[in-house]
Amino acid sequence: MPSKEIPSKEELLKIAEDVIPREGVIFLKDLYIELDISQTTFDKIFPTDSEEKSFLLQLIKKERISQKKKLRKDWKGSLSATLQIALYKLLADKEELDRLNNQAIEEQAKKIAELVYKNGNIDGIREKFNSLRERNKTNSK
């Protein structure tokens, strides 16, 4: 069985330039499939430090950004609470994100658990907890 003929580097670039936005290619692995060549062949034709590979990676990056913009636009108009929360998390500042993730509460609970573990009892923990809570209030302002 004869081996298949691999298109030239220029032809592969032209195909990739068309197929990346048309098929929504966002991973190199998908590009190998679309070009119908193996990763080894791809790496031989487009070495890591080549301008052509950089160009292809830029096209893929551009496609990723395009798809993310479309998703955010869809999420914004969605009635799904899950999608709206996902979008809000992308847009939130640190304090809002901590609150959405209950991260600040988890951090306080960890600190309290560490204090209890170190002390072997809960004596004095209430005062330390209150001082941590006050510090967090002033830090979040």
The 10s digit of each residue's pLDDT in 24-51 is 999 999 999 999 999 999 999 999 999 9
102 and 77 co-located in one domain: no
**DSSP 8-state class, residue 5:** P
Domain extent, residue 103, equals: 94-139
67 and 112 co-located in one domain: no
Instruction: Decide: 25 and 34 in contact? Cβ < 8 Å.
Output: yes
Q: How many domains does the chain have?
A: 2
75 and 104 co-located in one domain: no
What is the three-class DSSP state of 36? coil
26 and 77 co-located in one domain: yes
pTM: 0.61
Q: Which ranges constitute the DSSP H helices of the chain?
A: 9-23, 28-35, 39-45, 51-77, 81-91, 94-101, 103-119, 125-139
> Torsion angle, CA of 112/116/122/126, rounded to 10 degrees?
-20
Q: DSSP letters along 70-85, please?
A: HHHHHHHH---HHHHH
- Looking up tokens 């609470």, which residue turns up? 81
pLDDT tops 90 at residue 100:
no
40 and 87 co-located in one domain: yes
Q: What is the mean pLDDT of the chain?
A: 84
114 and 62 co-located in one domain: no
43 and 20 co-located in one domain: yes
- Quick one: pLDDT at residue 74? 87
For the residues 71-97, what does the mean pLDDT come to? 83
pLDDT tops 60 at residue 141:
no
132 and 86 co-located in one domain: no
